[in-house]
Amino acid sequence: MVSTSPNTRYTISAAQKRTGLTGRQIRYYESQGLLTPERTQGNQRRFSDSDILQLLRIKELMEKNLDIQTVKQLLLENPESESGDRSGPSAFPRTGENIQDVLGHRLSSLYPVSNRVELLSLLDSIVVKKAQE
């Protein structure tokens, strides 16, 4: 991997290559307030390394078929470190993981959970509780 300086800024085409997202997706996520890249005097977007990490987090959540409002709420409630550290509890199983493997037990019921955000918060609290044991 090529080392970059902390002040490196990427064009939207470079951000597309680094994330696998389309320019249209990136502009949509910006319009929804999920990220705010810097702008040049000519009003061109310039993405920082942390913007790239944020786009990758958004992509991961969207691939789990979550709606944009849920993604927005989750990003606000569970911001990850700029290093992209996922070693701590996460509301989402990593690719290839089964939720039962993450929790260590089977959920008997989702009642009274009425939406995804509640469910993910519940699962996150279980993971935190297990980590403290």
The 10s digit of each residue's pLDDT in 13-33 is 999 999 999 999 999 999 999
What are the residue boundaries of the structural domains of the chain, listed by start? Answer: 1-81, 89-133
Q: What is the second-level CATH architecture of the domain 1-81? A: Orthogonal Bundle (1.10)
Contact 104, 123 (CB under 8 A): no
Rounded to whole angstroms, the Cα distance separating 59 from 41 reads 28
Look at the pTM and tell me if it is higher than 0.75: no
> Can you name the residues that pair with 45 across neighbouring β-strands?
39
The answer for 128, left when phi > 0, alpha when psi is -120 to 50, beta otherwise, is alpha
Most confident of 38-47, 78-87, 94-103, 107-116: 38-47
Candidates 120, 28, 125; CA nearest to 70 is: 120
Cis peptide before 93 (omega within 30 of 0): no
Q: Note the residue count of the chain.
A: 133
CB atoms within 10 A of CB 128: 11
Rounded to whole angstroms, the Cα distance separating 53 from 111 reads 34
**Per-residue confidence at 115, pLDDT binned at 50, 70, 90?**
low
**Per-residue confidence at 108, pLDDT binned at 50, 70, 90?**
low
What value does the mean pLDDT of the chain take? 75
Rounded to whole angstroms, the Cα distance separating 94 from 81 reads 17
